[in-house]
Chains A and B, each alone.
Chain A
Amino acid sequence: RKEVEQDPGPFNVPEGATVAFNCTYSNSASQSFFWYRQDCRKEPKLLMSVYSSGNEDGRFTAQLNRASQYISLLIRDSKLSDSATYLCVVNLRISNFGNEKLTFGTGTRLTIIP
């Protein structure tokens, strides 16, 4: 089983629609969770951290369910500029001496259609 699993898509969504991404992770000791966005041939950019209580940043809402080991990202009122690959990322702290490991999903490709 992969450590972080995402639906690879692609998702083709009309402008203005709401789109949801889901992600599951296998290691229950994982400590922090993120969504990154990656444009074609560019580096990943941190979109948002994901907190247990859920968090929102404008049109973006992230949720975490530790019991189910499940992370989600909701994009409302999608824009053309939202077209990108969305990466689900999980951090596992190996030790208390600065040993951190980010594990990425394969990413979900999103295309917003005019």
Chain B
Amino acid sequence: DAGVTQSPTHLIKTRGQHVTLRCSPISGHKSVSWYQQVLGQGPQFIFQYYEKEERGRGNFPDRFSARQFPNYSSELNVNALLLGDSALYLCASSLDPGGQPYEQYFGPGTRLTVT
């Protein structure tokens, strides 16, 4: 079975540009979450989407936005890129947020470098 897929795998952008990252969850999973991981740190929560609605948002500026499509895939958009946005962006999917424990499965990530 296919796991969580993300595209692209690597991306290089310059300051001020915009970027769109994509994620497809595990088949049957309806919830997608996005995380940012900078070197030496654990992943930081950015957004959670469930049934195409935003259910949670972390402490990230409004330059970060996301959406979920009817097929449960998702996009993360970042505007006006800053050097500090350079990180590994991880997408995670889960079957049902109401289930316990709430297990999430991660994709391979998109490594974004801002120059």
Query: Which residues of the other chain, B, contact A87 by a CB distance below 8 angstroms?
Result: 42-43
What is the interface of chain A mostly: helix, strand, loop, or mixed?
strand
A42 close to chain B: CB less than 8 A: yes
- Is there an interface contact between A100 and B102, defined as CB atoms closer than 8 Å? yes
Summed over the interface, the residue pairs from A and B with CB atoms below 8 Å come to a total of 81
Other than the given A45-B106, A93-B97, A95-B55, 15 more pairs (CB < 8 A) read A31-B101, A31-B102, A43-B90, A43-B106, A44-B43, A44-B90, A46-B103, A91-B101, A97-B55, A100-B48, A100-B97, A102-B35, A102-B45, A104-B42, A104-B43
> How many chain A residues touch the partner (CB < 8 A)?
30
Query: Which residues of the other chain, B, contact A43 by a CB distance below 8 angstroms?
Result: 90, 106-109
Query: Which residues of the other chain, B, contact A96 by a CB distance below 8 angstroms?
Result: 98
- Is there an interface contact between A33 and B43, defined as CB atoms closer than 8 Å? no
Closest 4 CB pairs of A and B: A104-B42, A32-B101, A98-B97, A98-B50
Query: Which residues of the other chain, B, contact A107 by a CB distance below 8 angstroms?
Result: 41-42
